[in-house]
Each structure stands twice: as C-alpha cells, then as structure tokens.
C-alpha cells in the first residue's frame, strides 16, 4: 500500500468528508494535506499551516502538480494564534504536533487548544495523533473543554516516509448537552 492510500484510509476513518473545511496544523510537507484536499473536493478547503516555509512550498508544489486548487497555505512563525474566523473549521488534524518538542509547556499547549476550540465549529472534530505524548495528551485535551469521541488504532505515516502503528484520538467540543450525554 502506498503512502497516499494509507493517509486516505486514515482520513476517511476519522471522518474527513467531501465539502468540509479542514485545518492541517503542522502539515509539514503535506502527508495528510494532499489526501485531505482530494477527499474534501472542490466544495471543501484545506488550510496547510506550518512554520517551515520550505515544507509548505513543497505542499503547494505538489498541489499544483496534481491540479488541486483547494489548499490554502498558512505560514506561521510558531505563534499560538490561528488566523481563521471563529467556528470556521469542520476538522482539525493535529498529527505528531501536540507534544513537548513543539509546545514545551502545558500552558502553551493549553493556548493552542483554546485557539483550536475557538476556530472549530460546534459539530467539528479535533483529530490528534499524540505521538511522543501518548500518556498525557488525552487528559490535557479533555481539560481544555473537549471530550474523546472515538479512538482508532491505525497504521500511520511519520516524517513522510516511515510507517508505524499508533492511535488517533478524535475529540469533539464539550457542550452542556454533550457533557450530559456522557453521564
């Protein structure tokens, strides 16, 4: 199975659908960005956010070579602000990004989660591959007003080349009605 097929399988399983608006936070060279753009189609959009300009250039080059016009680059210097409107995103991919290397303090990770909470639609999903932080990620995310909706054991792509087994955690926004359903 090729890398794009693996990425497609993961994205479809976690709920990426035609017409959605997706934010690939920490997209790197587009391992999941390009397949997400193909799934959401012309009716949808994928924001490719990363602080590595060279990596985003690679994503845009790949998109152009494949005729994809629904990817928008978002350059960042690593600040904890997502320059998107409130409640504008259906799905946020946070794959191998939510950990101590990129966000050394719990306070920084909380600021990131607050921004994600702000831009995610009420019925949206936060899909996290908590590589390097498996034991703490779920608790930190739940403390930021999300709840675990689904957990998937899948084959994942690391550094755009390595295949490994891991877990994807899908979270939804915690609202009073969702919170009450869990009890």
Q: What's the pLDDT tens digit per position in 146-166?
A: 999 999 999 999 887 889 999
Instruction: Show the domain range for 167.
Output: 3-181
Task: Answer for the pair 91, 125: CB distance below 8 angstroms, yes or no.
Answer: yes
In sequence order, what are the residues at sequence separation of 6 or more whose Cβ sits closer than 8 angstroms to the Cβ of residue 15?
A: 91, 125, 127, 170
Q: What is the CATH number of the domain that holds 48?
A: 3.40.50.150
- How far is CA 53 from each of CA 28, 121, 128, 148, 153, rounded to the nearest angstrom? 9, 28, 23, 32, 31
Q: What is the DSSP letter of 181?
A: H
The string of pLDDT tens digits covering residues 57-73 is 999 999 999 999 999 99
Lowest mean pLDDT among 7-11, 95-99, 170-174: 95-99
Pairing, β 162-173 against β 146-158: antiparallel
Number of structural domains (the chain) is: 1
């Amino acid at each position: 199975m090729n890398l794009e097929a693996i990425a497609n399988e993961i994205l479809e399983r976690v709920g990426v659908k035609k017409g959605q608006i997706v934010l690939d936070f920490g997209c790197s060279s587009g391992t999941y960005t390009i397949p997400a753009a193909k799934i959401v189609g012309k009716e949808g959009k994928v924001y490719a956010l990363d602080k590595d300009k060279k990596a985003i250039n690679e994503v845009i080059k790949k998109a152009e070579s494949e005729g994809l016009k629904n990817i928008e680059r978002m350059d960042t210097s690593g600040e904890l602000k997502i320059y998107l409107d409130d409640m504008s995103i259906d799905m946020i991919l946070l794959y191998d990004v939510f950990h101590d290397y990129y966000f050394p303090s719990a306070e920084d990770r909380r600021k990131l989660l607050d921004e994600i909470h702000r831009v995610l639609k009420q019925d949206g999903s936060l899909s996290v591959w908590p590589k390097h932080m498996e034991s703490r990620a779920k608790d930190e995310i739940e403390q930021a007003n999300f709840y675990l909706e689904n957990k998937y054991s899948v084959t994942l792509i690391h550094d755009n080349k390595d295949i490994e087994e891991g877990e994807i955690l899908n979270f939804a926004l915690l609202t009073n009605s969702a919170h009450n359903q869990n009890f």
